[in-house]
Amino acid sequence: DTGVSQDPRHKITKRGQNVTFRCDPISEHNRLYWYRQTLGQGPEFLTYFQNEAQLEKSRLLSDRFSAERPKGSFSTLEIQRTEQGDSAMYLCASSFYRGLHNEQFFGPGTRLTVL
Amino acid sequence: AQKVTQAQTEISVVEKEDVTLDCVYETRDTTYYLFWYKQPPSGELVFLIRRNSFDEQNEISGRYSWNFQKSTSSFNFTITASQVVDSAVYFCALLSRSGYALNFGKGTSLLVTP
């Protein structure tokens, strides 16, 4: 069983450009989460999906951010018109949820640098 | 409101020393889950343990042990006979029964030197 994978691992972009990240969760997991982590801080929740439905979005997720999980498998996170403040590590996690919470397993993250 | 406090920002120990990482949490929920994750320099968060609020039994896994005390809202993590490979940032996190997102502390950076 492979773990959570994310692509790309690193992304450098210029301010104003759009970027898209991909996350492939553990195959039997029905929940998928996106978090953002800045230097010296713990990860902060952005959004999550149960199967293909996006059930919650954080206030951190401005209207420049959009996430999808079209078939309940992989997910994409797009940032439009990037700003320098978007520079962070974007982490994806997945878990299997059936009424009780199980641990979330994290991918290696995508490190975004906005110049 | 939920909050996790890891008061120790950085800890430095010499190999083979024991070290305890503190975690204090706040929640109004009666059912919740506590977690510890390790983040080595490579960046990937590695799950270490989950503890349910209704199970106060302490746990030991090799050199790792966890002490959960509901009375003091603490979930401390002890590494016995630390090794250089234990060097990482360790995060404590809280998730309520009715919630979905992990609430992380700011992490404790552990440096183990030879």
- Residue A1 pLDDT more than 70? no
Residues of A in contact with B44 (CB under 8 A): 106-109
C-beta atoms of A89 and B43 within 8 A: yes
Quick check: B33 and A58 CB within 8 A?
no
Strand segments, DSSP code E, in chain B are 3-5, 10-14, 19-21, 24-26, 32-39, 46-52, 59-61, 64-69, 74-79, 88-96, 103-104, 108-113
Tell me the pLDDT of chain A averaged across its residues: 94
pLDDT, tens digit, 9 for 90 and up, residues A21-53? 999 999 989 999 999 999 999 999 999 999 999
Interface residue B47 vs chain A (CB under 8 A): yes
* pLDDT of residue B20 exceeding 60: yes
Average pLDDT over residues A58-77: 93
CA-based nearest residue in chain B for residue A88: B43
In angstroms, the CA B22 to CA A98 distance is 31
Q: In chain A, what residues touch B93 (CB-CB under 8 Å)?
A: 42
Residue B25 at interface with chain A, using a CB cutoff of 8 Å: no
